[in-house]
Amino acid sequence: MIPMLAVIAVLAQDPSGTLIVTNKAAGTASIIDVAAGRVLAELPTGDGPHEVVASSNGRTAVVTNYGAQTGGNTLTVIDVAGRRVARTIDLGQYTRPHGAAFLPGDSIVAVTSETTRNVVLVRVADGSVVRALPTGEPGSHMLAVTADGSRIYTGNIPTGNISEIDVASGARTRTFSVPPQPEAVTVSGDGAEVWAGSNAQGSVSVVMTRDGSATTVLSGLGWPYRILLTPDGRRALVPDYRGGSLRIVDRATRAEQARVALSGPQGIAVSADSRFAFVSLPNDDAIAVVDLDGARVIRQLPAGSRPDGIAWVR
């Protein structure tokens, strides 16, 4: 007989929480119960929803409606617990919203406006654009924010660089050159390291913000679609869309730890305990749940048509 404490310990290690997933082809967002393995709701968004970000308390999610043939200019605000669309925010002139992140306090969300070369700061409660922060470059697609909210970094695909924006002053303070077509971008909580994926040569670079030096730490990828650092700071996770795998990298040594085979992985989120990654699989209309310690897929969850951006909340 297995001792009860052992059973409880095993159960406690199972993935749980809630996922919010954008479905690009369907123009919807799915709310998924991870433990139950089922879709709780599929909510309408604007055209071409690409990315989604959740507030730190898990109550609110914001979807960026990038658009399809014509540029989108709206955000869909989701009441996660209520499983409903709370409101739609019209960004007016700020078209092609894409990358997004909440600033500390959860009242303001920062969103790239790719066509206008800005990061716009939007008050979620009333939908007002508080400020537009110029990136100074075209094609600012994804963004990353330091834990204290003082700096924002954007990957500028056409110009092969990363913009650093000081939030307090609203000024672009520096640019960092990286290999061509940087799309995926993330920053360590302390702002010391910016990780960027370069599509043209299938590589990942790390920029040390102290002196701006950039070093290629991973190569041979087909398309480093996104990059995410785990909350414990131990790993970098890179879904390789064209390479058909999730690359798991030791952050300290910059060495690849493992490679998990997946069909066309795109968006990625990770649990707060850094044990599980959730990866969208648009080819399968599903979400892969990856045990990072074991470097293996432990289950798939259903999603809508062509899932992409993904956020996890408790």
Task: In whole angstroms, give the CA distance from residue 120 to residue 142.
Answer: 13
* Two tokens, residue 130: 């508080």
* Two tokens, residue 20: 């919010």
**What CATH number has the domain spanning 4-313?**
2.130.10.10
Three-state DSSP state, 9: helix
The residues spanned by each domain of the chain are 4-313
Task: In whole angstroms, give the CA distance from residue 170 to residue 66.
Answer: 24
Whether 275 has a pLDDT exceeding 70, the answer reads: yes
Distances in whole angstroms, Cα of residue 167 to Cα of each of 88, 122, 160, 173: 25, 13, 22, 10
Which residue's structure tokens are 């879904």? 239
Task: In whole angstroms, give the CA distance from residue 164 to residue 209.
Answer: 9
pTM attached to this predicted model: 0.94
Task: In whole angstroms, give the CA distance from residue 291 to residue 120.
Answer: 35
What integer is the mean pLDDT of 227-236? 98
pLDDT number for residue 13: 74
Task: Give residue 10's pLDDT band: very low, low, confident or very high (50, 70, 90).
Answer: very low
pLDDT number for residue 3: 47
Residues found in the chain: 314
Task: In whole angstroms, give the CA distance from residue 264 to residue 282.
Answer: 7
- The model's pLDDT over 199-223, given as tens digits with 9 standing for 90+, comes to 999 999 999 999 999 999 999 999 9
